[in-house]
Amino acid sequence: MYRWTRLSTQRMEEDWYARLSHIDPEHLVMLTQHGSSALKIQAFGDKKTVEMLARDFGGKTTQLAKEVWTGVQARAPLSIRGRLRIHSHEDTFRDAANTERDLFIPAGMAFGTGDHATTATCLRLLCDLVPELRIGWKALDVGTGTGILAIAAEKLGASAVEAFDFDPVCIRVSQENATANECHIVRFSVADSRRVGSFAKADVVLANLYSELLIASATGLVKKLRPGGRFIFSGVLLHQAAEVGAALEQCGLLPPRILKRGKWCAGITTRRLD
């Protein structure tokens, strides 16, 4: 895993989110400090990705030792609606009383543990939705990152889960995390969210993508959703919610219910019946 770092000012934060819209939301971190106008930008990915960022925007790149980016710091398990508990430390995971609802996601450096607003809201929406789903429901996880949403879908009762990411490093990490969680039905692959023809139709599509990529991918993703299926999305900044909602409606989805969390928002909607 590699990290790209660049300094800027807080007034440029929105501009940087726009410039880096092709980066998975959980792989991008904006750090500020009280009393300072400085903004520290960090992006995580493979060597090619961070070198391209340095070439295009300046800054520096660093290769991270595995023990750094896989997260050795212990924290209390994160509870999601009483249905899931996400552990960042293996000891607490192994001691958990109910392994059917416990997840071990050791990628605690900057992304993937469920702490980020985008992922946490997706997890909450999925947990709330599960009682409404038919037995044997299937899921498609778009931009899987560390695999947390795909793994959660299996834990919550999905009969089949397909998950993909454009970044091969993410797929390797996701597969390792799925093995650690004794998942057996999730299938990971490298793919582009704008080209999803090979994937099967799902009852639930989970798309944690930046707004520009979500809009560009919407038509194809909706085709992978069964009529009446549910579409959960996140990675969208508040001021982009109306544009994203309109784009999804044009593709055959109902007006989404939007949930706000800080500067981010997430949503859930349904594919119209054909």
Q: Is the pLDDT of residue 110 over 70?
A: no
Q: Report the pLDDT value the prediction gives residue 71, as an integer from 0 to 100.
A: 47
CA nearest to 141, candidates 109, 89, 177: 177
pLDDT digit string (tens) for 134-147? 999 999 999 998 89
pLDDT digits (tens, 9 = 90+) for 258-271: 998 877 889 999 99
The average pLDDT across 177-198 equals 93
Do 141 and 264 share a domain, yes or no? yes
Residue 127 lies in a domain: yes
Kindly report the length of the chain.
274
In a domain, 74, yes or no: no
Does 155 share its domain with 29? no
Q: How far apart are CA 252 and CA 270, in angstroms?
A: 9
What's the pTM? 0.76
Residue 158 counted as domain residue: yes
Task: Check: CB of residue 78 under 8 Å from CB of residue 47.
Answer: no
Q: Are 217 and 156 contained in the same domain?
A: yes
Residue with the larger pLDDT of the pair 105 and 92:
105
Instruction: Read off the pLDDT band of 72 (50, 70, 90).
Output: very low
Query: Is residue 150 predicted with pLDDT exceeding 90?
Result: yes
* 264 DSSP β-pair partners: 237, 261
Indicate whether 33 and 115 sit together in one domain. no
Domain with 48 in it = 2-64
Report, as an integer, the average pLDDT of 85-108. Answer: 75
Better pLDDT: 211 or 66: 211
Provide the number of structural domains found in the chain.
2
Is the domain of 7 the same as that of 123? no
Tell me the C-alpha distance between 271 and 258, whole Å.
Answer: 16
Q: For residues 205-211, give the mean pLDDT.
A: 91
Do 168 and 60 share a structural domain?
no
Question: Domain containing 170 — which CATH number?
Answer: 3.40.50.150
Q: How far is CA 104 from CA 27, 43, 62, 188, in A?
A: 19, 23, 26, 17
Q: How far apart are CA 121 and CA 80, in angstroms?
A: 9
Comparing 54 with 161, the larger pLDDT belongs to: 161
Tell me, yes or no, whether 20 lies in a domain: yes
The stretch 38-59 carries a mean pLDDT of 85
Residues 236, 128, single domain; the answer is yes
Whether residue 111 is predicted with pLDDT greater than 60 in this model: the reply is: no
* Same domain for 162 and 214: yes
H helix runs in the chain, sequence order: 13-19, 47-57, 66-69, 90-94, 117-129, 148-155, 168-180, 211-223, 241-250
* Together in a domain, 144 and 38: no
Do residues 121 and 244 share a domain?
A: yes
Cα(45)–Cα(3) distance, integer angstroms: 7
In a domain, 98, yes or no: no
Higher per-residue pLDDT: 254 or 112:
254
Is 81 part of a structural domain of the chain?
no
